[in-house]
Amino acid sequence: MTFHHPQKLKTIADLIGAKFIGSDDFEVLGTNEIHRVKSGEIVFVNHPKYYDKALNSAATIILIDKEVECPEGKALLISNDPFRDFNKINTHFTRISNFTEELHDVEIGEGTKIHSSAVIGNNVKIGKNTLIFPNVVIGDRTVIGDNVVIQSNTVLGGDAFYYRKLNGNFDRLISVGNVVVENNVEIGNGCTIDRGVTDSTIIGEGSVLDNQIQIGHDTVIGKRCLIASQVGVAGCCIIGDEVTLWGQVGIASGNNIESGSVLLGKTGVNRDLKKGTYIGMFAEDFKTYLKKEVKLRNLG
């Protein structure tokens, strides 16, 4: 999430009641999740296992639960609950309405047709010659390009599935990002595309999605991808251009799929994949899989 205007480190520290290490006027541009964080932004960390990852990330400001040595050129915000205070910062700078308030400020391009049963949130932008079918739900801050087709019962911009366990219950990390659907995309019936926690979930230009597909928060789908029914992509994945995902493919969070790859039906992904064709529960190279099958059959 980028602030509308740059903030100062002391301003943010005062907002959450945190101690800070760094200059009072150290510039803060926004917040972001660790997989997408950029220079000038805050990232949070609340477990020693991930201290180094956060401190050595592109983040310039680290919201952390212990005072540690501050890397050169960076700043620290010391909090007894970084998760809570990350939410506090995000919701201070982003209005959360969740369809309880009709503020709107919606931009709709020429030639676009939206069925009367569709529900549109606030600060939404929709391009030209786009077609939105019955019962589509478009959440706050969603951006949709030109010549897009969104079929019935699809939800763009639902909350991210991002929780921690707190006092025996699940505590949500509040989603202040959005969904961006680029030009010439087609999305089938009953798809769910979660908005980013702090950044954009992106469906790249010319991509086509079948029915009943789940795309997790902050995931980036490249250009001209083809995704078949019942695919599930978890949060913070990067899918390259011209990737094909056949039915019931499942991709775990934080994994990258190189451009031009093909994942055959029911393939499971738990690691980054180079360009290739894959099959199986643990994404095995397809040619290797066929050779193995031939050897197994010849054993008889």
Tokens 């992106």 correspond to: 202
Contact yes or no for 135/152 (Cβ under 8 A): yes
d(CA 83, CA 96) in angstroms, rounded, equals 18
d(CA 68, CA 55) in angstroms, rounded, equals 10
Residue 29, Cβ neighbours under 10 Å: how many? 18
Q: How far is CA 266 from CA 30, 110, 246, 258, 282, in A?
A: 38, 40, 7, 18, 10
Contact yes or no for 286/277 (Cβ under 8 A): yes
Q: How far is CA 98 from CA 9, 94, 133, in A?
A: 29, 12, 21
Nearest to 158 by CA among 189, 210, 117, 119: 119
Contact yes or no for 135/116 (Cβ under 8 A): no
Is 217 known to be catalytic? yes
| Furthest CA-CA distance within the chain | 74
- The token duo for 78 is 């010391």
- The token duo for 243 is 């990737």
Reported residue count of the chain is 300
Q: Is 170 exposed, middle or buried (0-12, 13-18, 19+ CB in 10 A)?
A: exposed
d(CA 180, CA 142) in angstroms, rounded, equals 6
List % helix, strand, coil for the chain (3-state, nearest 5): 15, 30, 55
Active site residues: 217
